[in-house]
Amino acid sequence: MNKQKFQKSLQSLSSWRERAFIVSLAERALPNAKLYLGSLNEEIPSELDAIVEAIWQHLIIDPDEAEIINLLDEVIAHLPETIESDSYGVIPTMDCLTLLEQALLSGVNEEKRRAFDASQSSVNTIIQFIEFSEGEGLSENELIKLFDSHPLVAREFSFQSEVNDLLRSATHPGEALIIELRELAQDEGISNIGISLT
């Protein structure tokens, strides 16, 4: 599937499929947030794991709105103060937590489509990382060529396409599907920008 068809396909994802797509992106970005926030408070990584676990379980057992709001409050409480930090790590951390927020909001308001924006957000995280780590001194055209040919970008597109295909072929959000999606998203502990906590 080419990128244009893929983008149209994402825009038609809805209900539990949309939530599963967004939380898959968040799980894949999780090592970024755990690395940064864990350096500030060693208890936070396990708290993030608990939030992600709860969102996955919401695909099987519908939560009440109060539970979703409590989880949203937890996510917001972990958002770092970007103004007060000059560390690059705050950027992918914010992106990951925003994905968690969107996954939760999609359970409250299914009318608004969020999958496409979440997809773009994850790609932008990677593009910003490439520019930060490899883009110094490059012209705009050189940066575009770098993004287009970069293995992290290709890996992200492949991942998102595979998640989309899995969701479209599934009839319901059962335990087996969630295990398969999580294993794919965790990618042996490597995040969307190539970070591993091990």
The predicted pLDDT at position 7 comes to 80
Mean pLDDT by 10 residues, the chain (198 residues): 78 90 97 94 93 94 89 93 75 96 87 89 96 93 94 96 94 93 95 93
Contact 57, 98 (CB under 8 A): no
Of 31, 114, 110, which Cα lies nearest the Cα of 68?
110
User: For the chain, what's the residue count?
Assistant: 198
pTM of the shown model: 0.94
Return d(Cα 86, Cα 68) in angstroms, integer: 32
Which residues, in sequence order, are CB contacts of 172 under 8 Å at separation 6+?
Answer: none
The predicted pLDDT at position 83 comes to 56
Structure tokens at 167: 């969701």
The one-letter amino acid code at 88 reads: Y
Assigned superfamily of 14-189: YP_001051499.1 domain like (1.20.1590.10)
Return d(Cα 72, Cα 115) in angstroms, integer: 18
Contact 79, 94 (CB under 8 A): yes
Contact 119, 94 (CB under 8 A): no
Structure tokens at 140: 């705009």
The predicted pLDDT at position 82 comes to 63
The predicted pLDDT at position 166 comes to 95
